[in-house]
Structure 1
């Protein structure tokens, strides 16, 4: 007697990465170490300025760089600097706010909590404490409106922090190296723009960049258990265990 096996319905195709809901990536193993290193660099630069507020040990480098940024301040350079000045200024808040709205609409509550915590701790508390604690004078005759305290650059801190947050929450691990390269370029351009506008010394922008990135990396590592709650079950596993998968009812013979 010949046994006939009736095939069940065709297994559904695995969900490709193109159709998956974006999920946060867990912090890489080196995130904490790199973040702490960046924060130590920030602390070392702050200590150097506090030791000699008028002329820290690296002031001659700052003076030389500022002379190179002497101008002329027009043309395409002015346009780029104006865009980055806007991006890091009060109007630039639309970027993190837009990201927060996106995460809220997608109900990605752990990611939203990480975003808000990182901006409060890294972009508000850390930068403002350093600004008022160090109270370094700015270069003479800045070309844009500035607030109190040249050290560190809030614009540089903000964009470096944003690069890490976007990389953690939106960029797939396979594409993250490209994102880090692009984000580094964006941060360097921001650093250039702040010195080209005579709003900061070069060391201020370096301190801002490492402070923002360092704070975001450390908080990413600390929030890994929180972000892990948002990661869905593997689509491949769901397909195997589904009703039409080989581990499901339709995959077994009677």
Structure 2
């Protein structure tokens, strides 16, 4: 009697092509998500700038004017030199180019279909200048330091160049860099803003407190807008992550 042959197992069912909608998207990182306390931090920073402006507006001589005077006196030096030339470059970078650079970033984002990020960049970099800086300048109406080395307009408080520098580096950090590179970008951003603040006082274009208020107002405005745009930026981040999965 012959031994029965083993019955071969049935062939496995053909593999189904996974649906794109069923594949979990990887953790997104562009644009970055705002921190939990973005609203509280942004409100404190912005209120700090407003408080400095209010003290200047209601006082003939603010309590911190002595610090401003001593800082300005310590920077008296020869008008020429490499440091003055470098500060002049930053003055032009924060002036006319302060609008060109954000507009260039917005255009690049829109070209790549990231119109939500472009809208955030436009609001943070352009609209806030109109809604925050210009009204504060008119309300406080602080005179400039005597004998500035560059062409300036009326209203020293707050520093519009420092405000623009903060909003630019903030927007770039949130929208452009992935997490690992973003850590290094924040270090560069802090250094760039500090150098911009120094250059404004070196040129006798603004008081030290003007630059501090400009940095606070710029960072506070961006933090609040980051939270306000969070739903749009989250949707875009999910799209970016899904698209990168299928490249």
Fold match (TM-score > 0.5):
yes
Query: Quick one: structure 1 residues 72 and 2, their matched pair in 2 at CA, closer, same or farther if it must change by over 3 Å?
Result: farther
Q: Is 1:139–2:145 an aligned residue pair?
A: yes
Q: Is the Cα contact below 8 Å between 1:142 and 1:198 reproduced in 2?
A: yes
- Aligned Cα root-mean-square deviation (Å): 2.8
Partner of 1:64 in structure 2? 70
Instruction: Measure how far apart 1:44 and its partner are.
Output: 1.4
Deviations 1:89-110 (A, max 9, x none): 0133221111011011111111
1:75 is displaced (CA, Å) by 2.3
- 1:191 to 1:7, Cα distance in 2 relative to 1, 3 A: same
Q: TM-score w.r.t. structure 1 length?
A: 0.82
Instruction: Please list, as runs of the form range in 1=range in 2, the aligned pairs for 1:72-151 lying within 5 A after superposition.
Output: 72-151=78-157
Structure 1's 109 and 22: CA in aligned 2 closer, same or farther, altered over 3 A?
farther
2:243 and 2:98 mapped to 1: Cα distance?
40
Show the counterpart of 1:28. 35
2: CA distance, partners of 1:204 / 1:86: 18
Match status 1:164 vs 2:153? no
Q: Cα deviation per residue 1:228-247 (whole Å; 9 max; x = unaligned)?
A: 121235459957xxxxxxxx
Aligned counterpart in structure 2 of residue 194 of structure 1, from 195, 200, 213: 200
Instruction: Please state how far the C-alpha of 1:47 moved relative to its aligned partner.
Output: 1.4
Q: 2:99, 2:126 within 8 Å by CA — same for their partners in 1?
A: no
Q: Distance in 2 between matches of 1:87 and 1:217?
A: 23
Does the residue aligned with 1:229 lie in a helix, a strand or coil? helix
Q: Deviation per CA, 1:122-166, whole angstroms, max 9, x where unpaired? A: 222200000000000000000001011000000000001111111
- For the residues of structure 2 that align with 1:88 and 1:34, how far apart are their CA atoms? 25
> Residues 97 and 22 of structure 1: is their aligned pair in 2 closer, same or farther, counting only changes over 3 Å?
farther
List gaps (5 residues or longer) in structure 1: 9-16, 240-254
Partner of 2:20: none
Provide the C-alpha distance between the structure 1 equivalents of 2:91 and 2:163, rounded to a whole number of angstroms.
13
Native 8 Å contact 1:122 1:211 kept in 2: no
Q: Secondary structure at the match of 1:23?
A: coil
- Residues of 2 paired with 1:237 and 1:79: CA distance? 44
In 1, Cα distance between equivalents of 2:237 and 2:124: 20
Aligned residues: 232
Change over 3 Å in CA distance of 1:45–1:95 after alignment to 2: same
